[in-house]
Amino acid sequence: KEKLKDDALLKKSLSISKKNWNKEDFNWSKDLKKALKDVFKIDKLRELQLPTINAVMSNEDVILIMPTGGGKSLCYQLPAVISKGITIVVSPLLSLMEDQLYGLQKHNVKARMLSAKCDKENVKIIMNALIDKKSDLKLIYVTPEYMAKSNRFMNKLQKAFEMKRLDRFAIDEVHCCSQWGHDFRPDYKFLGILKSMFPGVPILGLTATAPAKIIVDVQKMLDIQGCLVLRATFNRPNLYYEVRRKPTDKDTCLAMIENLLKNRFKDKSGIIYTTTIKDAEQLTTDLRALGLKVGCYHAMLEADYRSEVYSKWISGKYQAVVATIAFGLGIDKANVRFVIHHCISKSMENFYQESGRAGRDGKKSVSIVLYRLLDIFKLSTMVFQDKVGLQNLYKMLAYCLDQTSCRRSLIATHFEEVWTRTDCAEMCDHCRKPKESKQVNIAPYCRQLYQIMTKAVQSETRLTALKLIDAWYGKGASTLRVSSIPVPKFTRESGESVIGHLLVNGYLQEDFHFSAYSTISYLKRGPKSALALDNSHEIPFNYELH
């Protein structure tokens, strides 16, 4: 029976995806064109916007997967404008809703938002508009929490539904429905009742999260299995991806960034991301001391100060903003030419979004990650309590450790797409200057590191990565060194990469301990240590140890 149901769903899915959603002779095609120009002042639709809007107007359930900044909102705003009734937009964040309302106001589109913060008067207007045939209100933005808690609102929706005024639901950031997502929100579960409560009212789910597993989960949650899924490519052909070793010496690292800003990115605008507020402030001070015009942005600064920094950057008074990831939502600057990661991101997902703030105008732009193993441990102590936090972080580490693969192909895997070197067109460091792949077996080093760890256990000491590397290179406390182990012939940076690779592959693992003020990450043998202890076991690493 289950199988039959799946087959039926598959058939439905295939038949709706075969339909030509790009046609321009639907009943609404003329209105669509007119509203696009007159209301939204947009000349041309972007990839997938027309098929999505057509499917939405045909009352299909649709999930649209499109990178951030791709233009998902228009796919429900435009249908709302050319429809008679009301569109309910479910969105997780008040700030996102406020941005949208502001934008719609500028275009004279009637929209309002409902949240726990809403005053009585506003609530009353919205509740009345729902059941008033003469109302010109087009969109109601609402948080899932509000829907779940407000019986009054759900009752009015029911009435609007009976009056056929309920045109559709748009659910933004729809991946929040799924436990597998990076951003699960329990209140999104409530949305599971919409389909049975309002049969025939179509649902449009929107997200920038791609994995099929999550999309299927979302479909189940919303009871729209087999719906039309439209997926835009995540490839950003105009972004050049580059990874550099971050110099261990702070001044050398500063000089590197100074050089980039004064030469390669001279007169160009960009963002420099750091992990912590302290790093952001320090780096701003240091770069200013070198005569660079940069501003600082993080969550602990006053809102007024932050908007001042933002406008100085928009107007070009600042060449770059040194920021934590708090700098992101709502950035609307098309000519960002570079994004430098002073420290790696906590996941490929984050990296994609952060680097993706460059080159929104389609012109060539650059993403540079400055990578250093020890930075990982700042992040791991921040993310290890999330279900997949460490796994995500190690994927980012693997991206940085890779010395030969096309960066673009590495990013593609993450989005379950396949991009080849041809898609890259030499727009990454490895495609531009291909290196011969050299494989080394690092199992012997792994066993040496285990010996050092055993000795530490015997002397009741825990090893941070730094202490482990020190002991390996004959530095630090002499009690932790093992005299029979030779100091590696390769550089300390290479040694760090060996440790990184062992960590990513489960030969080493982090061991977290809480102190009064912080969490410390120590290294210990990983789940695969039994394998590595066998002298015939090999651990291949595509890396040039030098």
Q: Supply the residues annotated as catalytic.
A: 72
Q: Give the orientation angle of helix 49-57 with respect to helix 74-81, to 10 degrees.
A: 40
Instruction: Find the shortest distance in angstroms from Cβ 69 to ligand ADP.
Output: 5
Residues paired with 295 in a beta bridge: 321
Q: Is the CB of residue 73 less than 8 Å from the CB of residue 45? A: no
Q: Which is nearer to ligand ADP, 175 or 246 (CB)?
A: 175
Q: Which is nearer to ligand ADP, 162 or 332 (CB)?
A: 332
**Binding ligand ADP by CB under 6 A: which of 13, 28, 31, 71?**
71
Contact between 66 and ligand ADP per CB under 6 A: yes
Please name the residues in contact with 295: beta carbons below 8 A apart, sequence gap of 6 or more: 284, 309, 312, 313, 318, 320, 321, 322
Instruction: Find the shortest distance in angstroms from Cβ 368 to Zn ion.
Output: 15
Contact between 393 and Zn ion per CB under 5 A: no
Residues paired with 169 in a beta bridge: 88, 203
| In the complex, residue closest to ligand ADP by CB | 71
From 87-95, 105-113, 120-128, 426-434, give the range in contact with Zn ion by CB under 5 A: 426-434
Q: Which is nearer to Zn ion, 157 or 424 (CB)?
A: 424
| In the complex, residue closest to Mg ion by CB | 72
Contact between 72 and ligand ADP per CB under 6 A: yes
Q: Using CA atoms, how far apart are residues 242 and 177, in angstroms rounded to an integer?
A: 34
Q: Which is nearer to ligand ADP, 171 or 504 (CB)?
A: 171
Amino acid letter for position 105: Q
Q: Which is nearer to Mg ion, 206 or 239 (CB)?
A: 206
Q: Using CA atoms, how far apart are residues 410 and 192, in angstroms rounded to an integer?
A: 35
Q: What does 332 bind: Zn ion, Mg ion, ligand ADP, none (CB cut-off 5 to 8 Å by kind)?
A: ligand ADP
Instruction: Find the shortest distance in angstroms from Cβ 238 to ligand ADP.
Output: 16
Q: Using CA atoms, how far apart are residues 304 and 294, in angstroms rounded to an integer?
A: 17
Q: Is the CB of residue 97 less than 8 Å from the CB of residue 113? A: yes
Closest C-alpha to 76, from 88, 66, 68: 88
Q: Is the CB of residue 270 less than 8 Å from the CB of residue 342? A: no
Q: Is the CB of residue 171 less than 8 Å from the CB of residue 222? A: yes
Q: Is the CB of residue 500 less than 8 Å from the CB of residue 373? A: yes
Q: Which is nearer to ligand ADP, 354 or 470 (CB)?
A: 354
Q: Show contacts with Mg ion in window 72-91 (CB under 5 A).
A: 72
Question: How many residues form the binding site for Zn ion (CB under 5 A)?
Answer: 5
Q: Which is nearer to Zn ion, 267 or 436 (CB)?
A: 436
Instruction: Find the shortest distance in angstroms from Cβ 362 to ligand ADP.
Output: 11
Contact between 194 and ligand ADP per CB under 6 A: no
**Binding ligand ADP by CB under 6 A: which of 42, 131, 314, 531?**
42
Instruction: Find the shortest distance in angstroms from Cβ 4 to Mg ion.
Output: 37
Contact between 81 and ligand ADP per CB under 6 A: no
Q: Compute φ and ψ for 496, nearest 5 degrees.
A: -65, -40
Contact between 309 and ligand ADP per CB under 6 A: no
- Runs of H (alpha helix) within 384-442: 389-401, 407-414, 421-424, 429-432
Q: Show contacts with ligand ADP in window 310-349 (CB under 6 A).
A: 332
**Binding Zn ion by CB under 5 A: which of 292, 376, 431, 523?**
431
Q: Using CA atoms, how far apart are residues 58 and 52, in angstroms rounded to an integer?
A: 10
Q: Using CA atoms, how far apart are residues 244 and 225, in angstroms rounded to an integer?
A: 44
Q: What does 74 bind: ligand ADP, Zn ion, Mg ion, none (CB cut-off 5 to 8 Å by kind)?
A: ligand ADP
Six token digits for residue 33: 């064109």
Contact between 37 and ligand ADP per CB under 6 A: no
From 207-215, 389-397, 402-410, 512-520, give the range in contact with Zn ion by CB under 5 A: 402-410
Q: In what order do the strands lie in the sheet with 336-341?
A: 239-245, 365-371, 336-341, 269-273, 320-323, 294-297
Q: Which is nearer to Zn ion, 397 or 431 (CB)?
A: 431
- What burial letters (b/e) apply to 164-201, b meaning 16+ CB within 10 Å? ebbbbbbbbbbbbbbebbbeebebbebbeebbeebeeb
- Residue count of the chain: 546
**Binding ligand ADP by CB under 6 A: which of 52, 54, 73, 284?**
73
Instruction: Find the shortest distance in angstroms from Cβ 361 to ligand ADP.
Output: 10
Instruction: Find the shortest distance in angstroms from Cβ 43 to ligand ADP.
Output: 7
Positions in the binding site for ligand ADP (CB under 6 A): 42, 44-46, 49, 66, 68-74, 332
Positions in the binding site for Zn ion (CB under 5 A): 406, 408, 424, 428, 431
Positions in the binding site for Mg ion (CB under 5 A): 72
